[in-house]
Structure 1
């Protein structure tokens, strides 16, 4: 008797033990699947950390020179109005206190710092004084870079590029919260954007869309199996096998701390295809054994 036949007979003789083990594994997988970290498209998703290319990027560029920014875009009829600049200055000072924030720059900072240097008090002055400060020749390059016209301006929050997904998400959420409490006038439109905000939005969209995508994939798989194997007694047998395989895979990802990225998502169509193929082969073997009268 070969080893595989011995294993098969042992499994056939202990069905409740196998079912109990599968149930425990499924429960554990459901628990660990909740610990999966969602990530957008990052350098680590595409290049291994042991790669010379990644090490040069990480040690020579990212750690010493590179920064990234969260951009807060302010839109109004006139963004140089003192009440708008006061709200921007409140936002700037709050964000400077957030851990991992390197710098915050805006036209409000230019005006407030100039006023502090000349009068000893950091404040936003009258409209006439604001126009004079923004028109200083020394300030024109910075002002033109942050305010292309009177209706739009930018507040930039500089961050180290070495931050991972967790701190970036916290800073993005803190920025959005501070925008709400900075008392911008009602007619002012404030938008939090930039690469960290974009990656956070992509990650959130991935998390939201995973459920409908998996449900649609399951529905289409059922339709395909019913059409292709309608002559078979158990045409839907691949469904629970593939479902268990996906649950166990998610559990393994959570247990091994493998993040869910765009790259890892591409493995699931392969997993589903292999699961269906395995289930069909399993079904054929069962039919073959029943035909021979074997157990």
Structure 2
């Protein structure tokens, strides 16, 4: 097989180069389709019973949750709840949201159920808010799920089941943009939950890949310049870059995501690629030397 390929390459060198360039360009276009993945399907086989059962459960009762934690010495104030209501208004039009549970949603539900008593809906004064939240000075039991203690309360944003990573990222970015834009002095806020952790992991993976590729490129240029004493000493580096582009581009065309597991392939690909490229170029140089001596 290799001999047949060698004969074709030697017989049609220009055409072979042309088709190779076309293939590399097509593979390079596929790089745009590459995406990071950190979901459950990267850890468990999607066709397994466990994964399918979990997927069915998420479709019925919602998927992962994003938690917004509020910390304040004076927690259940009108200012804090209005700030929290701003988050609810920002996210309520997003189709990826399954449900939102917070002190605000509970207050709004109480206002709707008691429309005669609270005709204005969401309370406009602290006194009205206190009447809805407290009963004889004690926190109403309905708020115990979202009010942890006197200093902490939470907003639970549950996503739809099987929500894509891109959709999770959109929700997280909308949430972070609101918190950056609408700063609140009376409370400290923190955003957490598995979707947030996965988003941070994907971002870290992207930065790690860029750093790894850049550092590997610099090291290979230095090593090849010092150790590989031949003409076109940086040619193996070009060969490896083409191989990396081809591999990543093929992953893009086939919609194969980059995961924490598949990232381990790139150091191996670079290491083996530069090794084989050097050996191939060296062997080619030896054969050219033999032909020149025979002449």
After TM superposition, is the score higher than 0.5? yes
Indicate if the aligned counterparts of 2:123 and 2:129 stay in contact, CA closer than 8 A: yes
The equivalent residue for 1:108 is: 104
Mapping 1:122-271, distance limit 5 Å: 122-136=121-135, 140-179=140-179, 185-226=184-225, 229-231=227-229, 235-271=233-269
Tell me the secondary structure at the aligned position of residue 257 of structure 1. coil
Which aligned segments of 4 or more residues in structure 1 are displaced greater than 6 angstroms?
none
Mapping 1:3-82, distance limit 5 Å: 4-39=2-37, 41-59=38-56, 61-65=57-61, 67-82=63-78
Q: 1:96 to 1:233 in 2, by over 3 A?
A: closer
Indicate if the aligned counterparts of 1:101 and 1:159 stay in contact, CA closer than 8 A: yes
Q: Is the aligned partner of 1:89 residue 2:85?
A: yes
Q: 1:246 to 1:142 in 2, by over 3 A?
A: farther
Count of residue pairs the alignment pairs up: 289
Tell me the secondary structure at the aligned position of residue 46 of structure 2. coil
The equivalent residue for 1:98 is: 94
Residues 67-90 of structure 1 show CA distances to partners (whole Å, capped at 9, x for unaligned) of: 321122233442222122122223
Indicate if the aligned counterparts of 2:90 and 2:174 stay in contact, CA closer than 8 A: no
Q: CA deviation at 1:244?
A: 0.5
Q: 1:82 to 1:58 in 2, by over 3 A?
A: closer
Output the TM-score relative to the length of structure 1.
0.83
Q: Is 158-167 or 3-12 further displaced after alignment? A: 3-12
Q: CA deviation at 1:57?
A: 3.3
* Separation in 2, partners of 1:185, 1:280: 60
Q: CA deviation at 1:239?
A: 0.9
* Separation in 2, partners of 1:113, 1:63: 24
Structure 2 gaps of 5+ residues are none
Q: Is 134-143 or 47-56 further displaced after alignment? A: 134-143
* Separation in 2, partners of 1:184, 1:216: 39
Indicate if the aligned counterparts of 2:66 and 2:192 stay in contact, CA closer than 8 A: yes
